[in-house]
Structure formats: C-alpha cells, structure tokens
Structure 1
C-alpha cells in the first residue's frame, strides 16, 4: 500500500528507480542470451534484429536512468516509453522459454 505522505519526487524514486533497475537487469540478461545462444527456431536475421532492438532499448533505459538521476528524481517517464520496453522484454522471455523447452540441458548449464 502506498504511503500518502510521500511527495511526488519521493514516490517517483520509490517506484521508477527500481523499475529502471529491473529493465536494465532484464535487458542485460536478454542481450547476453541472444549473443551467446544459437536459436534454431529463429533465422539468424530474426535473432540479430531482436538483439539490435534489445541493444537500442538498453541505450534508452540507460539514458532515462541518467536523466532521472541527474534531476534527482524530478522527471518521470511516459507510459508510451515504458510499454515498448515491457513488450520487448515479454518477447525475449517467450523466446528464452521456448529455447529452454527445446533445449532442456541448457537450464542446468546456465542456472536459468
């Protein structure tokens, strides 16, 4: 439950900062996965295109986090910016789950 005594900047720091950290973490994992695994169910062009989208999103998240930090949490992020990141991560999670279904031995090797 939200503390109604928090100011808007404090609320942004409480919600947005961990969200940006999560995006950074999951995009880094997705990037590593796409760079290190050969996905037989995707063409190399599809995999490269997905990897490029992840790299672009990483840059966007890093920029947003730098702005957020530089303004000491005074700047929010529009939902129109967040939703494509979320959709891209959902796509990456689906690809990774499908990969693990097709390659059950990979789960023991990388601990995911």
Structure 2
C-alpha cells in the first residue's frame, strides 16, 4: 500500500519501477513470440507491424527509465504514454492467448 506522506520522488519510484519491470517483461515475451513463431491467425504484415510497435515501445520504456534514473526519480511518465503501453501489452496478451489456443 502506498503512503501519502512519501516525498514525490519516492512515490514515483514506488509506482514506476515495478511498471518499468512489467513492461520490460511483457514486451520481451511478446517480441520473442512475434519473432520466433508464424502466427497463422495474423497476416504477416500485421504480425510485423505488431512487432515493430513492441520494439518501439521497448525503446520508449528504456528511454523513460533512463530519464527517470538520471533525474533521480523526479521525472515521471505521462499517463497517456503509460496507457498506450498498457494497451499494447493487452493486445499482445490477446495474441499470445489465441496462439496458445490454436497451437496443436
């Protein structure tokens, strides 16, 4: 549970560090799947575009994490950006789920 008496950098750290870790994990899994498997339920172009979006988002997460570290936790991430990453993770989860369902 978060405490409202935490200074802002500590609050940002408590919120963002676990999110960065989660985004790294899920984007890494999605990248592996999209690079290593032919997903019969996706057109090759759609799979390539999804992979490109995952790679772009990984780079954005890396940049945000570096900026956060360089500013000693005083720079945050816009909520819209976090939501965009979260929506992409959800899209990747759906693709992964469909892949597991269709796999022999």
**Length-normalised TM-score, structure 1:** 0.89
Q: How many residues align?
A: 104
Gaps of 5+ in 1: 105-112
Match of 2:24 in 1: 24
Identify the residue that residue 42 of structure 2 maps to in structure 1: 42
Segments of structure 2 that go 5 or more residues without pairing to the other structure are: none
Q: Counterpart in 1 of 2:91? A: 91
Q: Out of 80-89 and 2-11, give the one that drifted further.
A: 2-11
**Distance in 1 (alpha carbons) for counterparts of 2:62 and 2:28:** 11
Q: What is the distance in 2 between the residues matched to 1:69 and 1:21?
A: 14
Q: 1:68 maps to what in 2?
A: 68
Which aligned runs of 4 or more in structure 1 are off by greater than 2 angstroms?
Answer: none
Instruction: Report the Cα distance in structure 2 between the residues aligned to 1:4 and 1:66, rounded to whole angstroms.
Output: 26
Q: TM-score, normalised by structure 2?
A: 0.96
Deviation (angstroms), 1:5? 2.6
**What's 1:4 paired with?**
4
